[in-house]
Structure 1
Amino acid sequence: MASLFRPPPSTLSSPSHSTPSDSPTFARLTPSSSSPSVANDSDVDDGTDEEEQFVRNGKRRASTQSFELYTPDEERVVRKKLDRKLVAFLAGLYLLSFLDRSNIGNARIAGLERDLGLHGGQYEWLLTAFYITYILFEWMTLLYRIIPPHIYISLCILSWGILASLQSVCTSFGSLLILRAFLGIGEAAFGPGVPFYLSFFFRRNELALRTGLFISAAPLATSFASGLAYAIVKLGEGGPIAPWRLLFLVEGFPSVLVAVFAWSFIPDSPGTAKFLSKRERKVAALRLRNETVQDKKEQPVIDEKGDRGNKNRRLDFSEILQTLADPKCYVTAMMFFSCNVAFSSLPVFLPTIIKDMGYTAVTSQALSAPPYLFSFLVVLFTAYASDRMQNRSFFIIIHVLLAASGYATMALAGKFAWSNIWRYLAVYPAAAGFFSAITIIITWTLNNQDSDSKKGTGIAMMNVIGQCGPLLGTRLYPKEDKPYYIKGMAICSAFMLFVAFLAVMLRLKLRWENEANVNRFENGEIEMTEVDEPLMDGRDTVRRQKPFVYLL
């Protein structure tokens, strides 16, 4: 097992372990100087053979990195501002969207099923309708590359806020079914593409933590939804509005208000972030210059405002086809599919499962919250540790094995009529496991694509295939299986074990490809990529990059 998780070959160092030629060049500061200055080419010594000159169009250009310079402290300030402002805001948006998606589970035991006269498998169809449209519109992830994000994201928020609020006035199964289907379109346009959008602002080795901060809003939303549902149901009992209608309205309408603010707050690129100063916008763009990008057409171009160059929003269809033909993308998509079987089912069924343990509806709402609050903390720790160790597969394997053990315990508790306390405690590792695994799977998919077109396509593929998991997950807990739901628990446990198997296989495959690239590079079969980079002061430079390295 120790050899399985050894680091990738040092010959092709990952961006997270940069060599001097990969690192940002920092200004030499004099005692009287408090700001960085622009260094000449002669001031830069990167310790590699990248000093050689290339001749293009009859002119000699230096291959050294004559960049606008910045200090580590400046970079740290920019990164913290992006975390506090952008990532936190996006996490808040995801909390609202997940709240509007999953609160139907709380509404069910608050009177929805009785008032609308739902019977047979109609509740399951309300869940399935959402995911059918969610899957069909996953391609909208690519629109982050085409439509300015501040416009695109704002319209997404507005659409799901209106649709979620309108659920409160439904009077029949059919009307609620239609609204759930349209809600799936609104949320498919937003959530799946956000990790791709974050890659416009953060480096490859920083994405796990930021994706974790974003995804962690899902368990936090579920925990918050359960606590809020408890309060609403308690206050709404005997009132003029049915508690489940009040639940949909109170949790849905805030998104409409937030959409107005998002229009002016969401930046399209580092160079348009209003919460950064002019200098900080430049630093935010410059620090992305070291990301390994193979396609010269997608090289970051820095203008006078510090814009990374997302003005050029066209897609490279040849790269889209390459990604569609890559078997590795299908492996991560199947991992996502398997995790989504659990991810889609437990949040909407847990209140019912706990109620079937013998608790009242109000108590079930309250007991549903703690497992998700625990999951929120575990997701954050996992994402942080994964970025620090620059390892993805290890954390996926550990967490899906924990989730599998939790589901297996719930299945065995039902089989052998164990105490309900074991069933309830087993929810904690199950929920924390699949939430954490999903965070790292999304990040791993982005890490192992070398251009924006490939990242967008990889995320879209992962979601189109992966979001088919809920079609199964939302039907795992039929009424006839209560109170133990042994079959559903056993199926989820098996899927978690399948994810562990796929993660091990993919890690072995990526390590083999990295080692093969090392040999080809040393034998001269792979050459460094020449990268043209226009600078803010109007000069051009040519930089050489080593071949792309897969993150294990």
Structure 2
Amino acid sequence: MSSYELLHHGHASTDSLVVSDGHSLDTNNAASESSSYLDGPRTPHEEYQLADLSTTGNAVKSGNRKRDGRSYNADDDFSDDADTLCEEKPRRGRPPTIQSSMPYTVDEEREVVRRLDRRLVLFVAFLYMLSFLDRSNIGNAKVAGMYNDLHLSSEQFEWLLRAFYITYVLFEWMTLLWKVFAAHKYLAIVVGSWGIIASLQALTFSFWSILILRACLGIGEAGFVGIPFYLSMFFKREELALRTGLFISAAPLATAIAGTLAWMLTKIGDQVPIASWRLLFLLEGFPSAVVAVFVWINIPDEPGNAKFLNPRQRKVAKLRLRRDDDPKATERKGLTWKDIGHTLIDPKAYLMAAMMFCCNVAFSSLPVFLPTIINEMGYSRLSSQALSAPPYFVAFFTVLVTAWLSDSYRVRSNFVIFHALLAASGYTLMAVAGTNEAGPLIRYIGVYPAAMGFFSAVTIIITWALNNQKHDTGKATGLSIIQYIGQLGPLVGVHLYPQSDRPYFVKGMATCAGFMGMVAILAVAMRLILMSKNRKQGIAQERNEDEGDALVGSQRAGERFVFII
């Protein structure tokens, strides 16, 4: 198809149409103007296009137009021909442009992204908040009386934490199931299962019964870790950090809410015959089981069947995601074993996993132990629940700002390094303050940079890993590797704050500081590796200068894959 082929441009006016190189033509003078665009002799096909173009003005004004010998109404949608438009060669004598690759406008794309943010991202962030609430509220339950009511020892409590992460790690392979089953069915089953299991913890009367439920909860929540991969099916590489940030930011928000709810339920528990910790498990777990019904109804399997988009927007949502490395390529459904094998032997996947492991030592341990740590600072049980919330509210906003900046600059490593060092500084402050037996205020202040740092680092690490895999199966496999190795970190983290180290827990604080420092070192190494690969491929790291043009698209065909550093 030559560059004179007309593109449907939203619902454009009848007096002007847009050709594939972005120029606006007056349809009344289409034939005369179009000849000025020709840089060389016309082929028979181009002669036909010019003849067709010369009649377009009258056809549009009369309410119809012709294309390839067929008649259309003025408001017909040509987006079904988008694949054909994208596959045709550009007209002779002029290089291809980004504008010539996609028949949709900037405004159309922005509206699609806004709808995806409002209806999809916020919903899965809410689900993650429920997930993190159900896994981490055992720390609040301990302070609320569970530890004494079930006659637990320090070692038994550590086993309750360990049991969750053992099964959580063993079932990380379930990330691959996002490529096998319909998302709305799979996710609804996952959310409903963990909601029911979390609620049943309220009925336990022994160590063994709650241990079994914690292990089952780990299986239920392991199926949910593929959400960042799921979001990558709806958003471009340069858009993914903010959306992953919105998703991950639900974790500190959930921890903050858990502290506030625990404070409320502890007060209520003193007035009712049921123990406060049982109320906590029941009221924080059961909502997930109810929300599973809405997951089945509202979650789309892919951009093409999102109910909250109209037919035109669904087509735009699909077209805008043409693969960065090859706009002509289409992703096959199901698993691609070649991509799985390639990812399994990719050293970059394991370097990312090592970063995730180090980060998770802190990420998994502080939310669980913080109420206990604050309680050991000398605050009452009630005050400890309340004071555990503010650091996570601050972390929530920090994650969002970090993710937005990372997407804006299309850089990941700088933010991982900065936030890893920020978290390390917070832990170092708490360790040094504990060694010198400083007052509780200075130790409590150290919680803020620690929480801000490791939550933000986890967000960018996950996004960074997804960005640098070319294919969907590779992304799913890479995420599984990250989770398999990364989730071994919590098995270390649950041992960092034994009762014997109270009230300062210096050993645990120093260990977390060391691991977060290692995250920064690994991020520097990954940055250097990716920069070297980009140089060897001869790919410049410059931004696309045409982002603000009328028509938009992905990278041009023929460009090689650019690693995001």
Assess same fold via TM > 0.5: yes
1:348 aligned partner, one-letter code: V
2:563 aligned partner, one-letter code: Y
1:95 aligned partner, one-letter code: M
**Residue 505 (structure 2) pairs with residue 485 (structure 1):** yes
After superposition, the C-alpha distances for 1:330-377 in whole angstroms (9 at most, x for unaligned) are: 111000000000011000000000000111111100000000000000
Equivalent residue for 1:158, pick from 192, 203, 206: 192
Question: Could you tell me which residue of structure 2 aligns to residue 143 of structure 1?
Answer: 177
Deviates more, 1:151-160 or 1:319-328: 319-328
**Residue 439 (structure 2) pairs with residue 419 (structure 1):** yes
State the shift of 1:313 in Å. Answer: 2.3
Question: Could you tell me which residue of structure 2 aligns to residue 182 of structure 1?
Answer: 216
Question: Could you tell me which residue of structure 2 aligns to residue 456 of structure 1?
Answer: 476
Would you say the 8 A contact 2:137–2:281 is kept in 1? yes
Question: Could you tell me which residue of structure 2 aligns to residue 84 of structure 1?
Answer: 118
| Equivalent runs, 1:34-45 vs 2, <5 Å | 39=20
Deviates more, 1:250-259 or 1:276-285: 276-285
SS at match of 2:497: coil
- Please list every run of 5 or more consecutive structure 1 residues that lacks an aligned counterpart in the other structure: 1-24, 47-59, 301-308, 521-542
**Residue 308 (structure 2) pairs with residue 275 (structure 1):** yes
SS at match of 2:557: strand
Would you say the 8 A contact 2:143–2:381 is kept in 1? yes
Question: Could you tell me which residue of structure 2 aligns to residue 248 of structure 1?
Answer: 281
State the shift of 1:29 in Å. Answer: 8.0
How far apart in 2 are the matches of 1:26 and 1:381? 38
The alignment-based identity, stated in percent, is 56
Question: Could you tell me which residue of structure 1 aligns to residue 3 of structure 2?
Answer: none
User: Are residues 481 and 35 of structure 1, via their aligned partners in 2, closer, same or farther at CA, if it must alter by over 3 Å?
Assistant: farther
State the shift of 1:120 in Å. Answer: 3.9
Cα RMSD, aligned residues only: 2.5
Would you say the 8 A contact 1:232–1:247 is kept in 2? yes
State the shift of 1:262 in Å. Answer: 0.7
Deviates more, 1:111-120 or 1:469-478: 111-120
For these two proteins, the number of residue pairs brought into alignment is 480
Computing the radius of gyration over CA atoms, which structure comes out larger, 1 or 2?
A: 2
How far apart in 1 are the matches of 2:136 and 2:487? 15
Would you say the 8 A contact 1:448–1:550 is kept in 2? yes
Equivalent residue for 2:204, pick from 163, 170, 174: 170
User: Are residues 158 and 37 of structure 1, via their aligned partners in 2, closer, same or farther at CA, if it must alter by over 3 Å?
Assistant: farther
Question: Could you tell me which residue of structure 1 aligns to residue 341 of structure 2?
Answer: 321
Question: Could you tell me which residue of structure 2 aligns to residue 21 of structure 1?
Answer: none
User: Are residues 86 and 30 of structure 1, via their aligned partners in 2, closer, same or farther at CA, if it must alter by over 3 Å?
Assistant: closer
SS at match of 1:251: helix
State the shift of 1:314 in Å. Answer: 1.9
How far apart in 2 are the matches of 1:34 and 1:238? 74
Deviates more, 1:318-327 or 1:177-186: 318-327
Would you say the 8 A contact 2:175–2:223 is kept in 1? yes
How far apart in 2 are the matches of 1:68 and 1:82? 20
Question: Could you tell me which residue of structure 1 aligns to residue 247 of structure 2?
Answer: 214
**Residue 461 (structure 2) pairs with residue 441 (structure 1):** yes
How far apart in 1 are the matches of 2:562 and 2:21? 30
**Residue 129 (structure 2) pairs with residue 95 (structure 1):** yes
How far apart in 1 are the matches of 2:181 and 2:490? 28
**Residue 532 (structure 2) pairs with residue 551 (structure 1):** no
Would you say the 8 A contact 1:135–1:463 is kept in 2? yes
1:98 aligned partner, one-letter code: F
- Please list every run of 5 or more consecutive structure 2 residues that lacks an aligned counterpart in the other structure: 1-5, 26-33, 38-86, 91-95, 541-555
After superposition, the C-alpha distances for 1:398-428 in whole angstroms (9 at most, x for unaligned) are: 0010100000000001101112111000000
Would you say the 8 A contact 2:139–2:372 is kept in 1? yes
After superposition, the C-alpha distances for 1:111-168 in whole angstroms (9 at most, x for unaligned) are: 1011111114000000000000000000100111110100010000000000000000
Equivalent residue for 1:117, pick from 135, 151, 154: 151
Question: Could you tell me which residue of structure 2 aligns to residue 75 of structure 1?
Answer: 109
2:390 aligned partner, one-letter code: P
How far apart in 2 are the matches of 1:61 and 1:439? 39
How far apart in 1 are the matches of 2:485 and 2:11? 56
**Residue 13 (structure 2) pairs with residue 32 (structure 1):** yes
How far apart in 2 are the matches of 1:357 and 1:129? 28
TM-score (norm: length of structure 1) = 0.83
| Equivalent runs, 1:149-548 vs 2, <5 Å | 149-190=183-224, 192-293=225-326, 299-300=329-330, 312-518=332-538, 544-548=557-561
SS at match of 1:544: coil
TM-score (norm: length of structure 2) = 0.81
Would you say the 8 A contact 1:41–1:62 is kept in 2? no
State the shift of 1:32 in Å. Answer: 2.3
Would you say the 8 A contact 1:340–1:470 is kept in 2? yes
User: Are residues 420 and 30 of structure 1, via their aligned partners in 2, closer, same or farther at CA, if it must alter by over 3 Å?
Assistant: closer
User: Are residues 125 and 214 of structure 1, via their aligned partners in 2, closer, same or farther at CA, if it must alter by over 3 Å?
Assistant: same
How far apart in 2 are the matches of 1:78 and 1:318? 33
1:271 aligned partner, one-letter code: G
1:292 aligned partner, one-letter code: D
How far apart in 2 are the matches of 1:35 and 1:88? 39
How far apart in 2 are the matches of 1:501 and 1:29? 49
Would you say the 8 A contact 1:205–1:387 is kept in 2? yes
Would you say the 8 A contact 1:37–1:68 is kept in 2? no
How far apart in 2 are the matches of 1:275 and 1:418? 55
How far apart in 2 are the matches of 1:247 and 1:35? 63
User: Are residues 293 and 121 of structure 1, via their aligned partners in 2, closer, same or farther at CA, if it must alter by over 3 Å?
Assistant: farther
How far apart in 2 are the matches of 1:507 and 1:275? 39
SS at match of 2:164: helix
State the shift of 1:62 in Å. Answer: 2.4
State the shift of 1:283 in Å. Answer: 1.0
How far apart in 1 are the matches of 2:279 and 2:173? 33
Question: Could you tell me which residue of structure 1 aligns to residue 167 of structure 2?
Answer: 133
State the shift of 1:41 in Å. Answer: 11
1:217 aligned partner, one-letter code: A
Would you say the 8 A contact 2:265–2:279 is kept in 1? yes
How far apart in 1 are the matches of 2:321 and 2:120? 16
